[in-house]
A and B are shown apart, each in its own frame.
Chain A
């Protein structure tokens, strides 16, 4: 059974020969560059700078050598430009991080430092433009620098929050043509993030790729707007979904069904023990647009659709299923209500869980190898039953995770599933 066959069988809720595994195919199932360097060292691979494939979270590339060692079944495709609007597929340069690691970043990845010595990145790599994200000295990745103009209610225009959503260019279509050519003979399942289909993802709201973002860009202001300015948000989502559908149609003509899974949306609806909004808000503000995108995809393609949301989203899972999502990630098993057995028993026939293999807040980062092994075994047994499961940790593997725990996890997957 090839990786692709294995993954597709699991997504069809049938039992594959072993549970398919993803590390690194998306920006929410990846591994930090430092953890990758440690893994490469463990496997005795040649020492060379790790390429950063997603600079916001400093996620590293998992090359074919490491992919084989980790028994990975899925590969990922991302848009041409990264979150800062910098071409992610062009020439690379070496870059020394705060933690002393030499990594590879796009040549146009132009940074500066603030007065406290923190690293600043500028949209499109334009040093003349105000920085859009900052990496504190004591951190391992970036976070948004909020650039919010004073809000004048009478002048708020939804078009300002649509600046980053545009009809796909010929250049970008050509990019997808080339990307899909690279994976046409792969025996792995292919997941693609075409962009433009995330509604109100708080990581994207600040507009990190925009030089002068307008509209509502402050995170708290955005959360309040969902209940305070619902008409404004509806107009953004409505136009955004129209643009996204027109783009998906064009992209589909290019990539056809060589893509197996479409990563649609990373908007987080869960906190550690609750949700970011009530279910009424979810159904009123988000679901119509999710349904619109999912319906088109299911009517016109073979793609399965992927929804990411951290946190305690158990009360929302039925709504995600109703909206047409096939896959839920990262399955934060230590959040309230997210017990693996309960999730599998209640929703396992209707949605594929992608993640939840091991808790990353406590067990993988701070637990013993034995704790990692026990949890991985247990979750493979629960989630893996009758398919409908792709193994991944709960969200990305962070820089502080000991290599020994990652190895314990990998070895357990191999032992349990062979």
Chain B
């Protein structure tokens, strides 16, 4: 891996957004993911390499550390912010088709649920791992999920819930999604959700951590 790509991966892993960012303290004043990504593009590196050999590597490392409880929500949020700042530079190449992403992932919290920290973590992890993410936000109805799938053929869906009173809405949304698009894989997650619940409602995948969702999605396109 080229030195600059490793630096980009390092900035994402440790949440160094840009030169001005005071975090992490031991990288104060150094270039961040923002400047390094721009520099990599300016020096002619392929945008797809910047994504897959820089950003994705950094996000994968933080995702694994998070799953192993070596880092916590704030560190992951910082990494995601560094990643999303860098990815802004790559967006023109996504639109032009120069960079091919792994697939499209639609995500939202289910009807009635406004709690989106977990959903956002998954969304950012998946995006940072090379997927296009369509984030429908919070309190999303079955109709909205179904319409988003119609707009994005071949996509997969993530349903998130924090509450025991709203997780039951996953079952209805799952049924509607599968009725409209049987081949769409539906992933579920959130504090009260479990493998048992996944089996009960017949969803395709459950993970207690975002990295699990990333690995499952990647396995679908491997």
Question: Which A residues lie at the B interface, using CB under 8 A?
Answer: 118, 134, 136-140, 143-144, 153, 219-220, 223-224, 226-229, 271-278, 281, 360-362, 365-366, 398-400
Give A50 to B74 CA distance when docked, in angstroms. Answer: 40
B115 to A: closest C-beta gap in Å: 7
Closest to B139 in A: A136
B75 close to A227 (CB less than 8 A): yes
A398 close to B163 (CB less than 8 A): yes
A25 to B: closest C-beta gap in Å: 22
Q: Mark B46-64, 1 if CB is under 8 A from A, else 0.
A: 0000000000000000000
B 20-41 contacts with A by CB, 8 A: 20-23
A327 to B: closest C-beta gap in Å: 23
Closest to A401 in B: B164
A224 close to B81 (CB less than 8 A): yes
A398 close to B73 (CB less than 8 A): no
Beyond A136-B114, A274-B69, A398-B165, whether A228 also contacts B78 by CB under 8 A is yes
B164 close to A398 (CB less than 8 A): yes
- Chain A residues contacting B168 (CB-CB under 8 Å) are 400
Give A215 to B15 CA distance when docked, in angstroms. Answer: 22
Give A400 to B22 CA distance when docked, in angstroms. Answer: 45
A272 close to B139 (CB less than 8 A): no
A229 close to B22 (CB less than 8 A): yes
B120 lies within 8 A of chain A by Cβ: yes
Dominant secondary structure at the B interface: loop
Q: Mark B69-97, 1 if CB is under 8 A from A, else 0.
A: 10111110110010000000000000000
B191 close to A220 (CB less than 8 A): no
Contacting residue for B166 out of A139, A272, A277, A360, CB 8 A? A139
Contacting residue for A223 out of B73, B113, B114, CB 8 A? B73
Q: Chain B contact residues (Cβ within 8 angstroms of A): what range?
A: 20 to 34
- Chain A residues contacting B77 (CB-CB under 8 Å) are 220, 223-224
A275 close to B163 (CB less than 8 A): no
Contacting residue for A400 out of B20, B113, B164, B194, CB 8 A? B164
Beyond A136-B112, A136-B114, A138-B112, whether A276 also contacts B164 by CB under 8 A is no
Give A137 to B138 CA distance when docked, in angstroms. Answer: 13
Question: Which B residues lie at the A interface, using CB under 8 A?
Answer: 20-23, 69, 71-75, 77-78, 81, 111-115, 117, 120, 139, 163-166, 168-169, 191-192, 194, 208
Beyond A118-B139, A273-B208, whether A224 also contacts B114 by CB under 8 A is no
Contacting residue for B192 out of A118, A361, A399, CB 8 A? A361
A227 close to B165 (CB less than 8 A): no
Give A139 to B110 CA distance when docked, in angstroms. Answer: 10
Beyond A134-B114, A139-B112, A229-B22, whether A271 also contacts B166 by CB under 8 A is no
- Chain B residues contacting A134 (CB-CB under 8 Å) are 114
A117 to B: closest C-beta gap in Å: 11
A387 to B: closest C-beta gap in Å: 31
Give A137 to B112 CA distance when docked, in angstroms. Answer: 6
Contacting residue for B23 out of A228, A273, A277, A362, CB 8 A? A228
A140 close to B73 (CB less than 8 A): no
- Chain B residues contacting A277 (CB-CB under 8 Å) are 72-74
B111 close to A227 (CB less than 8 A): no
Give A140 to B112 CA distance when docked, in angstroms. Answer: 8
A193 to B: closest C-beta gap in Å: 23
Give A361 to B165 CA distance when docked, in angstroms. Answer: 10
Closest to A336 in B: B69
A366 close to B22 (CB less than 8 A): no
- Chain A residues contacting B139 (CB-CB under 8 Å) are 118, 136, 138-139
Give A365 to B167 CA distance when docked, in angstroms. Answer: 12
A140-B165, A143-B115 known; 4 new pairs, CB 8 Å cut-off, are A223-B73, A271-B191, A276-B73, A281-B72
- Chain A residues contacting B72 (CB-CB under 8 Å) are 274-278, 281
Which 7 pairs show the lowest CB-CB distances between chains A and B? A138-B112, A143-B114, A139-B112, A228-B23, A361-B192, A138-B111, A136-B139
Closest to A228 in B: B23
- Chain B residues contacting A136 (CB-CB under 8 Å) are 111-114, 139
B3 to A: closest C-beta gap in Å: 26
Contacting residue for B169 out of A138, A143, A275, CB 8 A? A138
Give A278 to B71 CA distance when docked, in angstroms. Answer: 7
Beyond A136-B112, A224-B78, whether A399 also contacts B117 by CB under 8 A is no
